Structure 1
């Protein structure tokens, strides 16, 4: 790992920019889900959780970017919040049950943000970056694993259409890039998250 770090370190700015650009491009894969919603004129079979999770984790990662004083992480998560908010608004327009599909999970996301940001204000600065990084890492892993909640149904029906391919494919590419950037920064949470 140390050897890879020393090889990549001179390219920190370039890798950070590439990570930012490709990650923001990944966020546009949500437009494919919105296109499917528009074609069907319904959100049936499409969950709002990727969009709600994108906003929630994006806000929490903005705080982490401030801790790290890292512009790439900040820009990416600002884009995540903006784009996922737009997608969620679009989802809302076509949802038949806004309470169950949008309002209820969004209220849980807002509560989670309030609790985490409140914790960040109360925690000792000496341990905050580590503990907050751990917290956000766990939440990000849960978001990334959320499509697996329907795994039993997917296996029994032999239909994986509930797992959005564009999000999964782009997520794999983005994960690899952030792994490289985490190695450059020697940031264990970025490396472990991937």
Structure 2
């Protein structure tokens, strides 16, 4: 880790600034979820856990059984997970630059959890297949 830290030292202030800015930006990622609630005029399919995602990064994984059963990531908040991935990666990089093992460990775990959640979006669609068929029939 020390060798990588030495290589990244010239970028210390840039990485630190970007980490701070994306952390602030992540605070606004919930607004996308709120907009979805506004558009559908209902909170159907959206639990409280996405809003706790900033506090508990693995919160969307609590529904893993349902996601796999339904083969759908419908209830997972993509904007929050995506921004969380960027934020944790930047803080991981900054922890490496600082050669701070606590920061590296914490953000390695968080980034791994975010990566698993993003992988679920690749594996499963955001809406169940049955719902897509119903939408096509309605058109």
Normalising by the smaller structure, the TM-score range is: 0.5 to 0.7
Q: 2:9 matched to 1:2?
A: no
User: Which residue of structure 1 lines up, in the alignment, with residue 102 of structure 2?
Assistant: 189
Q: Give matches, 1:129-144, under 5 Å.
A: 143-144=56-57
Q: 2:85 matched to 1:176?
A: no
Q: CA RMSD in A?
A: 1.8
Runs of 4+ with >3 A deviation: none
User: Unpaired runs of 5+ in structure 1?
Assistant: 58-142
User: Which residue of structure 2 lines up, in the alignment, with residue 146 of structure 1?
Assistant: 59
Partner Cα separation in structure 2 for residue 153 and residue 49 of structure 1:
14
Q: Are the structure 2 counterparts of residues 48 and 165 from structure 1 closer, same or farther at C-alpha, using a change threshold of 3 Å?
A: same
Shift of 1:180: 0.8
User: Which residue of structure 1 lines up, in the alignment, with residue 75 of structure 2?
Assistant: 162
Q: 2:27 matched to 1:13?
A: no
User: Unpaired runs of 5+ in structure 2?
Assistant: 108-139
- TM-score, normalised relative to structure 1: 0.50
Q: Give matches, 1:87-102, under 5 Å.
A: none
Aligned residue pairs: how many?
107
Partner Cα separation in structure 1 for residue 101 and residue 44 of structure 2:
39
User: Which residue of structure 2 lines up, in the alignment, with residue 30 of structure 1?
Assistant: 30
Shift of 1:40: 2.1
Post-superposition Cα deviations, 1:106-135, rounded to whole Å, max 9, x if no partner, equal xxxxxxxxxxxxxxxxxxxxxxxxxxxxxx
Q: 2:75 matched to 1:40?
A: no
Shift of 1:53: 5.4
Partner Cα separation in structure 2 for residue 53 and residue 29 of structure 1:
11
Higher helix share: 1
